[in-house]
Amino acid sequence: MPDAYLALETGDVVEARTRAPGTAQGELVFTTAYTGYEESLTDPSYEAQVLTFAYPLIGNYGVREERFEDDRVHPSAVVARELTDDVADWLTAEGVPAVDHVDTRDLVLDIRDRGAMKVGIAAGPDATPEDAKAELDTCPHMSDIADIGAQVSVDEPVHYEGSGPSVALVDCGAKGSIVDSLTARDADVTVLPYDATPEDVEEVDPDVLFISNGPGDPANFEAAEGLVEEYVGTLPLAGICLGQQVIARALGGSTEKMAFGHRGVNQPVRDLRTDKVVMTTQNHGYTVADPGDLDVTQVNVNDDTPEGLDSADLDVITRQYHPEANPGPHDSLDFFDDVVDLANPDHEIATAD
């Protein structure tokens, strides 16, 4: 007998098995990743979302803390075809509801065809479909969660000492691997809160201003957008994922919500300058609709959405995907070499023809 229920925005109710009890609500999304479930579950960009795994078995190589991208699980709930006990026990300890015995093939096709949607979840021995529907009824749209940055950002600056260029990383929900990738190149990294002010940046006196990935609508990260407006042309700028969107908005561009986003570890990206295709990890539900003052240098092979924006004149480089992806692929790690090189006065940024 089912003891868990998913109430979908479509009006459907999906029966499931409880693996971690509780109630939850959020935007229902899916990832096609077949490895990296620990990294996905601790990725701050999944804040306020219910993560469905397309791959049928999640947990077949255990749970190891050294793979985590943050110190907690960020999706509000987890859906799978089958979860191992290791993952179920971890999510139970984290207080994150989880269900399995779901036909995730059907659910993923539903999201693909109808788009990401709100969902309510109730799981446990006393759960009812009405409990799930009650969660759905109070679930906000992602664009309405104006304070989502506060849920995923550091409260105070955090410093990682290095002997190389100084990077001020604005934490809109940064993955730990971004810091690791910069410090591995000897960068001196100071992580600033998502709502950092120009005065906070001045205290760091960085060589590069970096806007991180993060959850939700980029329009809700006004402080980070203001920093870009303040320092463009004065400091080199870099960004990943939401960071690309924030920078584009600040430089005269615009963003829009995608139907179901890009989430997985096998997204093909073509470089317009070299015609080379690399495989990338992605996790975003918004995209740049208009690049503004920036040049589109890379595009998604599947839908032509912008994956890289550069400007030689403004000293800006951004990527929509995650070059630091763990466990992989690692096709684009050289992006961080380019970020560190921004501090070199003789550096050059190649742009698309």
- Residue pLDDT, tens place only, 327-344: 888 899 999 999 999 998
For all residues of the chain together, what is the average pLDDT? 96
Residue 282 assigned as binding residue:
no
Query: Ramachandran region of residue 12, left (φ > 0), alpha (ψ -120 to 50) or beta?
Result: beta
How far apart CA 319 and CA 244 sit, in angstroms, is 6
Task: Considering only residues 34 and 121, tell me which one the structure prediction assigns the higher pLDDT.
Answer: 121
Q: What is the pLDDT of residues 213-267, one digit of tens each?
A: 999 999 999 999 999 999 999 999 999 999 999 999 999 999 999 999 999 999 9
The reported pLDDT for the residue numbered 352 is 59
Residue 283 assigned as binding residue:
yes
Residue 160 assigned as binding residue:
no
Torsion angles phi and psi, residue 193, rounded to 5: -60, 160
The reported pLDDT for the residue numbered 325 is 86
How far apart CA 85 and CA 88 sit, in angstroms, is 5
The reported pLDDT for the residue numbered 350 is 64
% of residues, the chain, pLDDT over 90: 94
Q: How confident is the model at residue 351 (pLDDT cuts 50, 70, 90)?
A: low
The reported pLDDT for the residue numbered 121 is 98
Residue 261 assigned as binding residue:
no
H or E stretch covering 179? helix 176-183
Q: What is the pLDDT of residues 162-202, one digit of tens each?
A: 999 999 999 999 999 999 999 999 999 999 999 999 999 99
**DSSP per-residue letters across 30-82:** EE--SS-HHHHHT-GGGTTEEEEESSSEE-TT---GGG-SSSS--SSEEE-SE
Residue 163 assigned as binding residue:
no
Query: Ramachandran region of residue 2, left (φ > 0), alpha (ψ -120 to 50) or beta?
Result: beta
| Domains parsed from the chain with CATH numbers | 4-140 (3.50.30.20), 148-341 (3.40.50.880)
The answer to whether the CB of 169 falls within 8 A of the CB of 212 is yes
Residue 216 assigned as binding residue:
yes
Residue 226 assigned as binding residue:
no
- Residues annotated as catalytic (active site), given as ranges: 241, 322, 324
Q: Please check the confidence at residue 130 and state whether its pLDDT lies above 90.
A: yes
